[in-house]
Every structure is written in C-alpha cells, then in structure tokens.
Amino acid sequence: MAFKGMNPDQGREVATGINDAAGQILDAIDAVTNVVNSVEWVGPDYDAYRDDWNGFVSGAVNQLVEGMKTKADELNQHAEEQDSTSNQQ
C-alpha cells in the first residue's frame, strides 16, 4: 500500500516557519512604524501620511499576518488529524 497523507512533523515544521515569518513581518513593520511616527515633519501632509501608514498597518498588514497565522493553525490541525488517523491503523 502506498503512503497517503502528510508527514505530521514536516507539517508542524512548516507551520512554525509560517508563524516565524509572520513575527518577522510584524517586527519589521514595528521598526518602520516607529520611524514613521517619530520623523521630524509637521503639518497636514505628515498627519495624512502618518494616518495612511497606520491605516495600512492596521488593515492590510494585519490581515496578512492574521492570514498567515490562520494557515499555520490549519496546518497544525492537519498534522494532528494525520497523527490521529495514523495511530488508528
């Protein structure tokens, strides 16, 4: 009989990599956000830019990171299911 399914350890390893990458994205965005929020620039253009940046971070970036975490969780769930199935055979 041919192997069918996933290697749960590899699945968990990939999920960990996805979570690590999401953390690296957050770290990079936090560093840039600190620079954006501390730049010496006064006036409505800066206010608009800063608000746009912070909206981008709380919107698109947050969705990306949350999506990555969701996919990592799904992969971990599949690994658990594979362990369960394999242990029944």
Q: Quote the DSSP letter at residue 59.
A: I
In a domain, 78, yes or no: yes
Q: In the prediction, which pLDDT does 64 show? A: 97
- Rounded CA separation 24/34 (Å): 15
Question: Among all chains, which residue has been given the structure tokens 């912070």?
Answer: 54
Q: In the prediction, which pLDDT does 3 show? A: 61
In a domain, 28, yes or no: no
In a domain, 30, yes or no: no
In a domain, 67, yes or no: yes
Domain count, the chain: 1
In a domain, 22, yes or no: no
In a domain, 59, yes or no: yes
- Evaluate if pTM is beyond 0.85: no
**Residue ranges for the chain with pLDDT beneath 70:** 1-3, 89
- Rounded CA separation 25/63 (Å): 12
Residue 72 token pair: 């990592």
The answer to whether 59 touches 12, Cβ cutoff 8 Å, is: no
In a domain, 65, yes or no: yes
Q: Range of 72's domain?
A: 42-82
